[in-house]
Copies of this chain bind each other. A is one copy, B any other.
C-alpha cells in the first residue's frame, strides 16, 4: 500500500524510520519544512528531531537549527521543537503559544516576513542554502515528482534548492489530492517572464514538485492527520462585522463600482475572517471567486451554497467536522480548486492584476488607519504578518476587520496610535468592527479619524478618543497627535491591564 504511493520504484528502498530520516539534520543546519496554516506539514521527522534535540542537549551536545516553513505548523510541532530548544531561528510565520514565548524571551530569533518573499530570498542566496527539505506528500510520481498534500506553501522551492530532500508520505491524505496543485516557479532574473496567471482558474505549472530523484535522501511513511482548525463559530460581533461589510459591498455595486460577482476574494486566517466569509452565503453576491492564501471552512460552505465558482489558495485548513465532510468527497470539489506555492498565491504581480478584495484581521488599528497585525503592546509577538501585507498593499480593496474591544473590554482595538505598524495608512482602505465600517479611501488623516471615531470605536472608549483627537487637532499637523500621549493607552494597559483612563486613576 505505501509502495503504491511511490510510483518511481527505485525510490522504494529509501523508506526509513522517522528517527533515521531525522538524523540527516545536524546542528547548525538550515531546514525547510512543508506546512502552511496547520495544513500539510511534515509530521514525523520534526517530532523525531525534537526528540534528538532533547537527547543531544541532555548529553551537553548542541543541536539547533534555522527552521523555515510555509507558515504555521499543526500537531503542536512548533511547541515541541521550541520546548526541545531545537530552534535558533524561525522564518517566516508561526502561531504557537510555546514558540511565541521563546520568541518573546529572546531565545528564538524570529524573522517575521511577507509570505511571498521568503523564496525570493532563498533563490537569490540572501537566505540559505537549505541543507535539508522535509516535505509531506501524497505520493511520488513515476518521474520522482513530489505530490504535496493539503498545502503547497514554500515546499516546491525548498525541495528544488535543498541539498537533500526527506519525504513524508502520509497515507491518511487522500491520493485524490493529486492533480489539485499547480507548481509554478518564476523564471530567473534578468530574464524573468510575466507570471501567466490571469484569473484564479489559471493553471500554469505542474501538478507535482520536480526534483532529481537522487536528491531524495529518505522517505518516511506516516498516518497522522492534519490538526483541525481552531476557528470559533460566528458570534454576534463577527456577524455584525460581516453584515457591515456586506452593506458596504452592496453599496459599491449599487453605485456601479463593482458587479454582483465582485472581484476575487482573499480572506485572512482565523475566526473573524472565516465568519466574514460566511456572510457571503446570505448575500446577493454570486458567481464569486477566491484568490486567497488559506481556504477555510467558509470556502466549502460557499461552494455548497452555490455562491462560489472557484477558489485558489496555498492550503486547506478545516475544522474536524468540515474535514470529515469534505475530504472523502474531494474529487467533487477538485475541478473548482487550485493549491499554489505561497509565492504565487500571494504574489504582488497577480494580486494587483486580479484586483483582489483582501479581508484581513487586525490586532489593533488607529484613528489614522495604521494597522498592527503582530505586536501586543508594541513589543510582544503574536503570530506574524503572514500574507496580510502581500494582499493589503496590492489589493483593489484592502479591508481590515477586528472586534472593537479585547480582553473583556479592558482593551480597545482602536487606539490613538498603534504600538506597531504592519500596514501603513497608505495601504488600508476599509476598517470594520462590530460597531460599524469606516471607508478611508481618498481621505486625509483628519477626515479618517472622524470616520473611524464615529464608526468603529467602542462606545466605552469613544469619549476618551474624541477628547484625544480634539486636543491633538488643536496642536495642528497633517496627522494630529499629542506625541507624549500617543501611546498612553498602551502604557496604561501594561501598568493596569486596562486602557481605560479611570483604571489609571484608580491605581494612582
A positions within 8 Å CB-CB of B: 89, 91, 103-106, 109-114, 120-121, 124-127, 186, 189-196, 198-199, 255-257, 263, 347-349, 352-355, 370, 375, 377-381, 385, 389, 393-394, 396, 417, 419-427, 441-444, 446-447, 472-473, 475-481, 483-484, 486-487, 490-491, 494
Contact = CB atoms under 8 A, between A and B. Distances in A.
17 contacts: A106-B446, A109-B443, A111-B442, A111-B444, A121-B442, A124-B257, A190-B355, A192-B198, A192-B354, A192-B355, A194-B198, A347-B352, A349-B349, A379-B476, A379-B478, A379-B480, A380-B476
A257 B349 contact: no
A481 to B, nearest CB: 5
A424 B190 CA distance: 27
A126 B483 CA distance: 33
Given A124-B257, A441-B121, A375 B479 contact: yes
A441 B113 CA distance: 10
Nearest to A441: B126
A343 to B, nearest CB: 10
Contacts of A198: 191-194
A349 B351 CA distance: 9
Contacts of A423: 424
A347 to B, nearest CB: 8
Nearest to A487: B483
- Among all A-B residue pairs, the 8 with the closest Cβ atoms: A379-B477, A194-B194, A381-B478, A421-B421, A109-B444, A349-B349, A348-B348, A484-B491
Contacts of A481: 378-379
B424 A424 contact: yes
Contacts of A125: 255-257
Count the copies.
Answer: 2
A105 B348 contact: no
Given A106-B446, A110-B444, A194-B198, A378 B486 contact: yes
A483 B377 contact: yes
A111 B478 CA distance: 10
A479 B192 contact: no
Given A125-B257, A190-B263, A385 B426 contact: yes
A441 B128 CA distance: 12
Most buried by B among A255, A379, A481: A379
A309 to B, nearest CB: 12
A127 B442 contact: yes
A426 B126 contact: no
Contacts of A444: 89, 109-111
Given A349-B352, A380-B478, A446-B109, A487 B484 contact: yes
Nearest to A90: B444
Given A348-B352, A355-B190, A476 B106 contact: yes
Contact of A389 (B353, B426, B472): B426
Contacts of A120: 396
Contact of A355 (B110, B111, B189, B486): B189
Given A192-B354, A348-B352, A484-B491, 16 more contacts: A103-B478, A106-B473, A109-B443, A111-B444, A124-B355, A186-B353, A189-B354, A189-B396, A190-B354, A191-B198, A194-B194, A349-B353, A375-B478, A378-B483, A385-B424, A422-B424
Contact of A124 (B111, B114, B396): B396
Contacts of A113: 426
Contacts of A484: 487, 491
A156 to B, nearest CB: 18
B426 A424 contact: no
Contacts of A106: 446, 473, 476
A340 B319 CA distance: 49
Nearest to A103: B478
B195 A194 contact: yes
A124 B127 CA distance: 39
Nearest to A350: B349
A109 B443 CA distance: 8
B419 A426 contact: no
Contacts of A375: 477-479
